[in-house]
Amino acid sequence: MSLPHTLRASVTPPELELIACQQLVDIVPLIAMEKTAFISGAYGPLRPPHKARIPLWMAVTLKQKKKCHILAPEWLTVEYLQLKLTQETTQAEFTKLPFRFAELSRVMLDVASDDLQNPDKLRSLLQDLREARQAKARAGLENLEHSALGLSNLSAMEINEIRPFFIEAMAILGRLQPGA
Amino acid sequence: MSSVASWEAEYLRSKESNATSAPSFSHRGLSAPLEDDLLIPDVQLGEPLPEETPLEQLTRHWMNERHAPDILPAQDVLLGSILDHIRRQSDTIQLLRGDPSTSEEEHIRIMLAQTEVERVQFVVRSYVRTRLYKIEKYARYIIANEDVQTRITTAERDFASRHANIMDRHFYSSVLQSLPESQAGLDDTPHFIMPPMVTEPETTRAVFAHALKRTIARTPEGKTIDLPKGSLTLLSYAAVADLVAAGEVELV
């Protein structure tokens, strides 16, 4: 078939990762490169040791060839995530995090953990955040009604996780209250 | 030298095309019905939508298409320009690959350009396949419905009618020809609990809508839902279908 079964209900995490990798990150290049036109825009010039801003996929490719260091975004630090975790566990609503923080942090921790400070602590904080937010999202299901549900500050990966269940629940509520 | 010149030319071209493909917001505003403006006085109509590169636009349309239950308006102009861009970029890569004087630094550029071409091709393929899937699924609905036909390209319309035709012939030769004539139709009006025989998009299905500017959704029951800029709402697709087509809301 034109679209495999597994892709029909929702997008997959690798696809979300592909989209997230288009976002720009700061790097310190270890090679020089002239300003170059790519399909998504022009990037460069790379002049070590000056910082440059390029898409994450490009940074990942260069990093894997040991041609750059990726600089952690300001939200991917132990202090920041610690603060967010405290907010997350004390407030009723979701704290504001970058929309694609799950994908971005995963990619960066996978390929550039040596460029990050205290990657193990980062991993465990991200995991704690994820669990706290997941519990909230499930509790939010109680507020589901058939017309609309505000879900501000939920991230792309979290939406994807709850999507099948929430959509089906909405459909059933809609059938129970026709025209209400 | 020739290789550098072609990168440069590409850079200039990409700048030009960015300038000409600016969001046609004013254009849409002109064709919108007048009463739209009168009913929502508290929305700032002059607020511009965020500027997007062609690839960002395509990614947005790809995700919209994946999440929307119905088939969305075709983006053939955008798709055409991206395909042209892929072709030009691939040509440049081929040219540089064949050049023995290519330096080490140039090799990395080539590799990065090649990686990007593959990433963009993935998005293009997935986008086209998603539309094909919907066309196959709703083929009979599409050929019977002129409103949907305005949203698809000529090639897609031909494909829909050929697909519907083949399916009809298959159903007829495998089953329907052996049934009494009164039961051999493929578009009978459904009985009260039976699903309709022509598969139609389930437009009331819930979607996650991300508002790119402040706007207002209207549910089919007539309720209005305020969508502040940047908000994320789970609601019926029918309430945001027009906003998705206008680019004011994206599905995530």
Q: Which residue has the higher pLDDT, B86 or B49?
A: B86
Q: How many CB atoms neighbour CB B225 within 10 A?
A: 19
pTM of the full predicted structure? 0.85
* Gap between the Cα atoms of A154 and A19, Å rounded: 17
Q: How many CB atoms neighbour CB B203 within 10 A?
A: 14
Confidence band, pLDDT 50/70/90 cuts, at residue B248? very high
Contacts 24+ apart (CB under 8 A), B87-90: B88/B10, B88/B13, B89/A38, B89/A39, B89/B10, B89/B113, B89/B116, B89/B117, B90/B117
* Gap between the Cα atoms of A152 and B233, Å rounded: 7
Measured in whole angstroms, how far is the alpha carbon of residue B206 from the centre of its chain?
A: 18
Q: Is the pLDDT of residue A66 over 70?
A: yes
Cβ atoms of B91 and B119 closer than 8 Å: no
pLDDT tens sequence across B83-115:
999 999 999 999 988 888 877 778 899 999 999
Give percent of chain A with pLDDT exceeding 70. Answer: 97
- Residue A46 DSSP one-character state: B
Q: Cα separations (Å) of B159 from A49, A85, A121, B156?
A: 54, 52, 54, 5
Of B68, B128, B129, B127, the C-alpha closest to A3 is: B129
* A18 near B CB under 8 A: yes
Range with the poorest average pLDDT among A50-54, A70-74, B45-49, B192-196: B45-49
| Residue that the structure tokens 């991993």 belong to | A123
Of B53, B82, B123, the CB nearest to A41: B53
pLDDT at A177: 76
Of A165, A140, A161, the C-alpha closest to A152 is: A140
* Gap between the Cα atoms of B212 and B218, Å rounded: 17
Q: What is the mean pLDDT of chain B?
A: 83
Chain A residue with CA closest to B234: the answer is A149
pLDDT tens sequence across A2-32:
888 888 878 999 999 999 999 999 999 999 9
pLDDT tens sequence across A101-146:
999 999 999 999 999 999 999 999 999 999 999 998 888 777 777 6
A27: β partners: A52, A70
Chain A segment 161-180 residues within 8 A of B by beta carbon are 163, 166-167, 170-171, 174, 179
Of B108, B112, B233, the CB nearest to A149: B233
Q: Is the pLDDT of residue A36 over 70?
A: yes
* Gap between the Cα atoms of B110 and B212, Å rounded: 35
* Gap between the Cα atoms of B139 and B142, Å rounded: 5
Of B11, B53, B233, the CB nearest to A151: B233
Measured in whole angstroms, how far is the alpha carbon of residue A49 from the centre of its chain?
A: 28
Q: What share of chain B is helix, strand, coil (3-state, %, to 5)?
A: 60, 10, 30
CB contact under 8 A, B129 and A18: no
Give percent of chain A with pLDDT exceeding 90. Answer: 71
Of B132, B206, B225, the CB nearest to A167: B206
| Amino acid at residue number B122 | F
In the sheet that holds A52-55, the strands lie side by side as A52-55, A24-29, A68-70
* Gap between the Cα atoms of B110 and B102, Å rounded: 10
Give the total residue count for chain B.
Answer: 252
Cβ atoms of B251 and B60 closer than 8 Å: no
CB contact under 8 A, B85 and A22: no
* Gap between the Cα atoms of A6 and B126, Å rounded: 13
For A170, residues 6+ apart whose C-beta sits below 8 A from its C-beta are A144, A146, A149, B205, B206, B234, B236
A12 CA to chain B: closest CA distance, Å?
Answer: 11
* Gap between the Cα atoms of B245 and B28, Å rounded: 11
